[in-house]
Each structure stands twice: as structure tokens, then as C-alpha cells.
Amino acid sequence: MINILLIFALQLVYVPILTLRTIFLVKNMSVAASTFGILEALVYVFGLSLVFSGHQSIAEMIVYAIGFGVGLFIGSRIENKLAIGYTCLVVNLMEMNDELIALLRNKGFGVTVFEGMGRDSKRFQLEILTKRNRENEVMDLIEEYEPRAFIISYEPRKFKGGYLIKGMKKHWKKSNTVKQL
């Protein structure tokens, strides 16, 4: 029975590490990915040695599989809480909403506005780049001011220049100045 609990516990540690390692690798954060890779390999080898040592109990193998599934769930929840990286929101509006645009900008979001023709009339599109941990905040504001907006959210792989980069550089300089004092 102790082996079964240990196998389950190891899977609850192993799979979130696997999930985070994969996320860091995809986001090109190789040092973090390598660190998690080492931890992952250690836990993996130890867990498998328990499953395959001795008499290979069916219960142990089933618990190993169940632990893997639960670990995936936990790993994805952890990653969602960390919200590593950036997201780009493309918001399509039927009418120009200056109040929403001003509010988003006042809250520190870079907003670019485009005007175009839809099937029946003129449309307005907002493009907003922000950190992933602020995506829900942006979505809530849009929902409050434009409940009929059509929104697409995606993660950009690379970007250079623009409002967000300038803001990050300013913030970085401020925090380094404060640290030096």
C-alpha cells in the first residue's frame, strides 16, 4: 500500500514538472526548462523503478496512470496561475468606443485601433498586447463596455519595439534604480 501512495505522490510531482518544463521550452526559456528537465528525470526514474521493481502489481500501474492524469490537471492549473508570457487580443467592435479605449490605455495597456469594412458596415478593431496574467482583466473590461465584441486571443512568439517594450524598459530602469538605492 505504501508503494501505491508513493507512486501516486511521485506522479503528482513529476507531471507538473513535465508540464512546466514543456512550457518553458516552448517559450524559449532554456535555463528554466533545463532545470525542470533534471528534476523531471530524477522523479521519473525513481517512480518507474518503484513500478517495475519486483512483481509489477496491476494496482501500481493503474495508480501510476491515474497519477499521471491528475498531475497533468495540476500542472495545467499551475501554468495558468503563473501565466507566463504575453497574449495579443484582437477585438472587433461594431462602433468606436472611445471610453473603452481610454480606459484600457489609462490602465497601462497598449491599444492600436484599426478601421475597416465588414460585410454590412464599418467596423473597428482593437489590437492589445499584454502580459498573460492580465488577460482576464482586459477581457472583463471589454465585456463590461462592449458585451457584443468579437475577441480573438493568441500568444505571440516574438515581438520587437512598440509601447509595451518601452513600458517594460521604463519599469526595469525604475526597479533597478530603486534596488541600487
Looking at residue 181, what is its pLDDT?
A: 46
Mean pLDDT (whole number) for 133-153: 93
Residue pLDDT, tens place only, 56-87: 678 877 888 898 899 888 888 888 888 878 88
pTM for the full model? 0.63
Q: Is the pLDDT of residue 113 over 90?
A: yes
Q: How far apart are CA 125 and CA 56, in angstroms?
A: 59
Q: Is 131 left (phi over 0), alpha (psi -120 to 50) or beta?
A: beta
C-alpha cell at 25: 521550452
Question: What type of residue is 179?
Answer: K
Looking at residue 167, what is its pLDDT?
A: 55
Question: What type of residue is 50?
Answer: L
Residue 83 DSSP SS3: coil
Residue pLDDT, tens place only, 151-169: 999 988 777 776 655 555 5
The correct CATH number of 86-158 out of 1.10.238.10, 3.40.50.410, 3.30.70.120, 3.40.50.620 is: 3.30.70.120
